[in-house]
Amino acid sequence: MQRRKTCAAARLRVIAAALALTGAMAWTAVATGHDRPLGVIDVAERTALERRIEALANEAANRRSYIEEDPLPIHIRARFDVAAETLIMDADERLGPLSGTGALEDMEMDIHEAIRVLLNDIQRFQGVRWLYGGKDMYFWFPQDRRTSHSEKTRASTSGVLIGAGHMRRRSDGRKKRRPRAPFRYEACRVAYSPILRAQACMPPSTL
């Protein structure tokens, strides 16, 4: 009798372990793309994944202060654009005029690193698009939307790689906006994608 009870208890432990493993696998499928394109992941799973991405993004954005003049908390909302197969990250509008600066580039790259594990398994994923108050950086800097061929040539042959819109101190103490970087770094910053090599995402200061 005692032996039957022991065997029954052992079977229950095995069943409980199997159920726990099944639950963990189900959560992993929700927490990552689970090797499926966005269009195949159902709405509930995408929503759960968006909330998980938001949690990691906000944690990374507020882990340290990126902007000396703005100590306020940073809020980020995440949503998938299924048609474009991208992730849209929408941060506070007050950061818009600083989009393209070195400070926000650092923040974006830290966030990309924090959420990468949740995006790597999504098939055909095209990357991340950053908005500020629902507007991209070209809302504040429309002159940067198009660059003439001569300007691109000068940038690529100048011998200095700098990120889009980095700020630098002038001799009078004010800040001046630097010109845009060549496409290699800009593409990584604006549309980060798992298929990009790590060296393609290196900030210009490290190249």
Q: Is residue 132 part of a domain?
A: yes
Q: Is residue 57 part of a domain?
A: yes
C-beta of residue 90 within 8 angstroms of C-beta of residue 80: no
Q: Is residue 44 part of a domain?
A: yes
Checking if the pLDDT of 115 tops 90, the result is yes
Checking if the pLDDT of 149 tops 50, the result is no
**What is the pLDDT averaged over residues 173-179?**
42
The beta strands (E) that lie in the chain are given as: 76-81, 86-91, 127-132, 167-169, 175-177
Q: Is residue 39 part of a domain?
A: yes
Read off the pLDDT of residues 27-78 as tens digits, 9 standing for 90 and up: 444 444 468 899 999 999 999 999 999 999 999 999 999 998 888 999 999 9
Q: Is residue 18 part of a domain?
A: no
Q: Is residue 17 part of a domain?
A: no
pTM of the model: 0.58
The length of the chain in residues reads: 207
Q: Is residue 15 part of a domain?
A: no
Domain of residue 137, residue span: 32-206
Give the integer Cα–Cα distance in Å for 110 and 95: 16
DSSP secondary structure of 145-161? S---HHHHHHHHHSS--
Read off the pLDDT of residues 154-174 as tens digits, 9 standing for 90 and up: 443 333 322 333 333 333 444
Q: Is residue 101 part of a domain?
A: yes
Pick 180 or 133 by higher pLDDT: 133
pLDDT at 147: 55
Q: How many domains in the chain?
A: 1
- What does DSSP say about strands 86-91 and 76-81: parallel, antiparallel, or unpaired? antiparallel
